[in-house]
């Protein structure tokens, strides 16, 4: 049984690594795949596993963007170091709304973890991506350095919506950024950076409040796999947004929602 659980954790780590950075909702996918694999009662289906496994993906961001995130890099000029600190201050400011909402709503998150909420969120955000891309809104912010604190906090308010499974944390912040006039690459990159303090905070909160026995082996496997896969997913998305819109992810979300609805209403 342990071997089977370990293989399942490998699979979920792959799912997490791919979906954490694409605007398709990693939490929603983990909830759905746990249902498909009949993991009810398993540690793999626990609130702690579903959220803490994301730390592996977060560490991939730190690795991939280490130079850009590091304000102490010797190769950076004084101005570049100052810009890096400013970027971090914007990230922290943008994380405050989600941090407050997460603390207030932590005990209620499990109430939203069902296929009805996930499928509805997939459809709503899928339509939003398609509509916003068709609006062809003018890009006025082409660098995080050009992002004001006001806009950073506004993006942070969009991040609050990601508390609902199926919305996608990256999807919420990318949509918010694009509505405010950021380029796709800036919206994606800033979304990545916002995940660092938020997911470390969420993971610490989940571990501190978890009442069951933590299976560190399964959690560790999932995190390592999600880290490795995330390294590839991040590179893919950053290259993808340079040449393509997010509309394809919108259509994917709608198609997935239809599959979910059919599964739970007809097949199951």
Task: Count Cβ atoms within 10 A of the Cβ of residue 239 and give its class: 0-12 exposed, 13-18 middle, 19 or more buried.
Answer: exposed
Q: What integer pLDDT is reported at residue 38 of this predicted model?
A: 85
Provide the token pair at 68: 């850009």
Interacting residues of 148 by C-beta distance below 8 A, sequence separation 6+: none
Q: 177 or 28: which carries more pLDDT confidence?
A: 177
What is d(CA 198, CA 58) in angstroms, rounded to the nearest whole number?
A: 10
**pLDDT tens readout for residues 70-84:** 999 999 999 999 999
Provide the token pair at 9: 């954790």
Rg (CA), the chain: 18
**pLDDT tens readout for residues 13-65:** 999 999 988 888 888 888 888 888 888 888 999 989 998 999 999 999 999 99
What is d(CA 202, CA 100) in angstroms, rounded to the nearest whole number?
A: 11
CA 253 from centre of chain: 15
**pLDDT tens readout for residues 181-223:** 999 889 999 999 998 998 888 888 889 888 888 999 999 999 9
Q: What integer pLDDT is reported at residue 136 of this predicted model?
A: 63
Which value, to the nearest 10 degrees, does the dihedral of the CA atoms of residues 54, 11, 25, 253 take? 170
Cβ count within 10 A of residue 268 = 9
Q: Are 147 and 182 in contact (CB under 8 A)?
A: yes
CA 257 from centre of chain: 18
72-107 burial, b if ≥16 CB within 10 A, otherwise e?
eeeebeeeeeebbeebeebbeebbebbbebbeeeee
Interacting residues of 32 by C-beta distance below 8 A, sequence separation 6+: 115, 118, 260
DSSP letter (8 states) at residue 167: S
DSSP letter (8 states) at residue 262: H
Q: Are 119 and 24 in contact (CB under 8 A)?
A: no
CA nearest neighbour of 260 among 84, 101, 21, 25: 25
Q: Which residue has the tokens 């803490």?
A: 52
**pLDDT tens readout for residues 153-170:** 999 999 888 888 888 888
Looking at the chain, how many residues does it have? 268
| Average pLDDT score over the chain | 89
Q: Residue 141, SS3? A: strand
Provide the token pair at 209: 């409040």
């Amino acid at each position: 049984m342990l071997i089977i659980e370990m293989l399942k954790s490998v699979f979920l780590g792959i799912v997490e690594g791919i979906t954490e950075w694409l605007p398709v909702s990693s939490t929603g996918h983990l909830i759905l795949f746990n249902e498909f694999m009949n993991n009810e009662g398993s540690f793999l289906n626990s609130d702690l596993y579903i959220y803490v496994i994301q730390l592996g993906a977060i560490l991939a961001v730190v690795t991939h963007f280490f130079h850009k995130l590091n304000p102490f890099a010797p190769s950076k000029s004084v101005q570049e170091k100052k810009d890096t600190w400013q970027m971090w201050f914007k990230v922290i400011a943008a994380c405050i709304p989600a941090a407050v909402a997460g603390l207030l709503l932590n005990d209620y998150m499990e109430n939203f973890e069902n296929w009805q909420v996930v499928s509805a969120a997939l459809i709503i955000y899928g339509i939003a991506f398609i509509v916003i891309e068709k609006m062809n809104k003018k890009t006025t912010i082409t660098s995080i350095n050009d992002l004001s604190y006001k806009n950073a906090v506004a993006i942070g308010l969009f991040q609050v919506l990601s508390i609902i499974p199926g919305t996608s944390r990256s999807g919420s912040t990318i949509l918010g950024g694009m509505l405010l006039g950021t380029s796709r690459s800036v919206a994606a990159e800033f979304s990545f950076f916002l995940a660092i303090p938020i997911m470390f905070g969420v993971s610490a909160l989940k571990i501190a409040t978890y009442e069951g026995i933590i299976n560190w082996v399964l959690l560790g496997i999932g995190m390592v796999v999600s880290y490795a896969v995330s390294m590839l997913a991040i590179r893919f998305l950053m290259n993808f947004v340079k040449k393509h819109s997010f509309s394809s992810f919108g259509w994917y979300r709608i198609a997935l929602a239809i599959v979910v609805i059919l599964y739970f209403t007809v097949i199951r």
